[in-house]
Copies of this chain bind each other. A is one copy, B any other.
Amino acid sequence: SQSERIVWLCEELGIDYELKIYQRERASLGAPLNLKAIHPTGTAPVIQDGDVTISESGAIMDYLMGQYGNGALSVSSNVPNFSDYAFWYHWGIGTFQSTTMTLIYIVKAGVEETHPVLQVLKQKITNSLEMMDQRLMQYTWLAGEDFTAADVYAVFIVTTMRLFTPFPLLGYSGIKRWLENVSHRPAYRRMIEKAEQSESRGEVPVLCDEAPRPMASY
């Protein structure tokens, strides 16, 4: 689930944490009702840190970086590539994931493959992948030469999220190399071991080139 980002971020920042895994509701595959007791959004990820309870990936990431990051994984506003960091981080949250999620809903609603709205969304995803690929052909990581939270946010969209809305990554050599670099990060490997043990997906999707076989709906 989207929670893998938070586990990964904690591993990258060396934050001690206790991981609680909730199973999706069998019928809806949505968040279980007992998450609602923790935060009114009722969605995962959600973290508890003393008196503070926060939901929403981006908010949790900003919070953890702000409290425990000591400047790591973000770019401060007086550094030249701050605007690149801000763009790629927010574009992942506000546009790329949002478009991908919309496609998941559209497919789930049974909209036909040939419907113009579905075509528009698929084109948006292709444009997004091309834009990312061009960036990653030029730079090692999205914000530049340093790995940041912008990468942590975006990786999930082209890996785990692809299991719910399959698209291929063939031909995107920048993205492919980026995902290979990700898969070599010790913190990422620890996340996969800890967080994903309960979900059997065969091969870890990070290195999978073709459109994966779709999992049950999101």
Contacts and interface: CB of A to CB of B under 8 A. Distances in A.
B108 A117 contact: yes
A52 B105 CA distance: 35
Would you call the interface of chain A mostly helix, strand, loop, or mixed?
Answer: helix
A7 B60 CA distance: 28
Interface of A: 28, 40-43, 52, 54-60, 62-63, 66-67, 76-77, 82-83, 86-87, 89-91, 93-95, 97-98, 101-102, 105-106, 108-111, 115, 117-118, 120-121, 127, 131, 134
B98 A52 contact: no
A56 B91 contact: yes
Nearest to A93: B94
Nearest to A65: B77
A204 to B, nearest CB: 25
B115 A109 contact: yes
Contacts of A63: 77, 82-83, 86
A86 B117 contact: no
B105 A58 contact: no
Contacts of A98: 94, 97-98, 101-102
A131 B41 CA distance: 8
